[in-house]
Amino acid sequence: MPRSGLDPDTALDVLLSAICSRNRYTTDPAAVVDELRRIAGDRVDILARVAGSWVGFYGDDHTRTLCKALLEIPGAVDWVGDGRARRDAGSHGAPMVRP
């Protein structure tokens, strides 16, 4: 994995999330899940957290195929609520100051 300045767990989380997002409209989720498992290696805890959170945040009719496959990853279902909570929290930013 390239050096990023992030701790290894965070870097892995970001990479796995990017793989999910890059493949959100896939019709072949098996290949995506295989790639995720290969990249995650023995860090199945991080894989489960990313998969479940991603489903909770991005799950909709357009991503249904990938979401269904991600939820088959052991432990992923436990993280769906976390992803939904993040989605429902809305975006955060600095308040706009008017002159």
Listed by start position, the domains of the chain span: 8-86
- Between the two ends of the chain, the Cα-to-Cα distance in Å is 47
Weakest-pLDDT range from 1-5, 63-67, 74-78: 1-5
Report pLDDT digits (tens) over 16-75: 999 999 999 999 999 999 999 999 999 999 999 999 999 999 999 999 999 999 999 999
DSSP code string of 36-83:
HHHHHTT-HHHHHHHHHHHHHHH-SGGGHHHHHHHTTSTTGGGGHHHH
Whole-structure pTM value? 0.84
Distance CA 70, CA 48 (A): 8
